[in-house]
Amino acid sequence: MRTIQLLAAKGENMRNIWIILIFIVFLAGCASHHEKTNNEQKYVEITLKDNFYHFNGDVVSKGNEEQLVNLLSKKNIKKILTHDFTMGDLLEISSALNGKGYSFFFLNEKNEIKQINFL
């Protein structure tokens, strides 16, 4: 009788270990999926032409960065791919978007997307 009780207790411990292992694998999968979706967030390309910011069919006049922030917020866009920006333009838009979680990127000569880091 004692042997049966020991085997039953051992089986229950093994079952608990399997449940814990399955739970750990599930959590690791959830964390991996969350990281993947953050990295796959789309970029919006903003161009500056004739004192107007152009992106996704929207046009905002230069100097009206608050409207630009509102449009980007509505579309939940945090990654900005700059195109044909001078350093002054880049500093102007980055100061308007500063502290709001936006990241700026550019295409290098090899057509690779690189992040712009402001120190």
Is 16 found in the same domain as 73?
A: no
> For residues 51 and 88, what is the distance between their CA atoms, to the nearest angstrom?
13
- pLDDT for residue 88 is more than 60: yes
Q: Are residues 89 and 75 in the same domain?
A: yes
In 95-111, which positions are buried (b, 16+ CB within 10 angstroms) versus exposed (e)? eebeeeebebeeeeeee
pLDDT exceeds cutoff 60 at 6? no
From CA 95, how far away is CA 34, in angstroms rounded? Answer: 29
pLDDT at 106 over 80: yes
119 burial level (CB within 10 Å; 0-12, 13-18, 19+):
exposed
- Is the full-model pTM beyond 0.75? no
- How confident is the model at residue 4, as a pLDDT? 57
Pair (50, 92) in one structural domain: yes
58 and 107 inside one domain: yes
Instruction: Give yes or no: residues 61 and 112 share one domain.
Output: yes
Mean pLDDT of 104-108: 83
Shared-domain flag, residues 67 and 109: yes
Mean pLDDT of the chain: 75
In this structure, are 2 and 30 located in the same domain? yes
Question: What band does 37 get if pLDDT is binned at 50, 70 and 90?
Answer: very low
Q: Does residue 68 sit in the same domain as residue 82?
A: yes
Number of domains into which the chain is organized: 2
Query: Could you give the CA distance from residue 81 to residue 77 in angstroms, rounded to a whole number?
Result: 11
User: Do 110 and 82 lie in a common domain?
Assistant: yes
Tell whether 68 and 88 lie within a shared domain: yes
| Same domain, yes or no: 48 and 36 | no
Q: Are residues 32 and 52 in the same domain?
A: no
pLDDT tier at 105, thresholds 50, 70, 90: confident
**Residue recorded with tokens 């550019």:** 106
Full domain range(s) for residue 32: 1-40
